[in-house]
Amino acid sequence: MKVLIACEFSGIVRDAFTKRGHDAWSCDILPTESPGQHIQGDVLEILNDGWDMMIAHPPCTYLTTTANRAFLNNPGRWQKRLEAMIFVHALMNAEIYKICIENPKGVISSHIRKPDQYIQPYEYGHKDSKMTGLWLKNLPLIKPTNIVEPEWVIMKTSGKRMSRTHYNSSSTGRPDMAKLRSLTYQGIADAMAEQWG
């Protein structure tokens, strides 16, 4: 199967499909961080190149609801959110038979449609919590493979809890940490390749 992993620089999902014998390619405006088949550029320019499946990870910077406070009286961010939504819409409506759009809880749900399912890293062997929506076309719901107990850090000032990974990689004003937080968990990548490949 010819598989496109859109908006992926890490090669994690691409490599999971490649290991199972698929012709998998990642595409991102950034270069790949793992040797393998990678197209550096705009994914919209290659959507019609004969893919059987696409798994897309559109950047969540302007899509997630966790950043809503930054939109107050900020038309520049409103414009960027609109552009992000148009990008997601183009990915969802690509003429590719099997599609998965992956993104954290955000405005895709209210502006386009609700996800087909939410998944958590702790359902796939990672002790983190990061509720992630999957918008699916001609793909079954993904099943948990290794449920573990998540680890939490409790914030001293607010009492709020967060996963250890997110606590250790605050992305506020730190593009390197935002990049780290965008990586797909290996257990989820393996489950996608196993169950959808």
C-alpha span between 117 and 114 (Å, rounded): 8
Beta bridge partner(s), residue 56: 6, 101
* pLDDT per residue as tens digits for the range 55-78: 999 998 889 887 777 778 889 989
* pLDDT per residue as tens digits for the range 82-138: 999 999 999 999 999 999 999 999 999 999 999 999 999 999 999 999 999 999 999
Residue 173: pLDDT over 70: no
Q: What is the pTM of this model?
A: 0.91
CA distances from 74 to 50, 68, 70, 88 (A): 40, 11, 7, 22
Inter-residue contact 10 to 185 (CB < 8 Å):
no
Q: Give the Cα-Cα-Cα angle 15, 17, 23 (nearest 5 degrees).
A: 95
- Burial status of residue 72 (CB atoms within 10 A of its CB: 0-12, 13-18, 19 or more): exposed
Domains and CATH numbers, the chain: 2-196 (3.40.50.150)
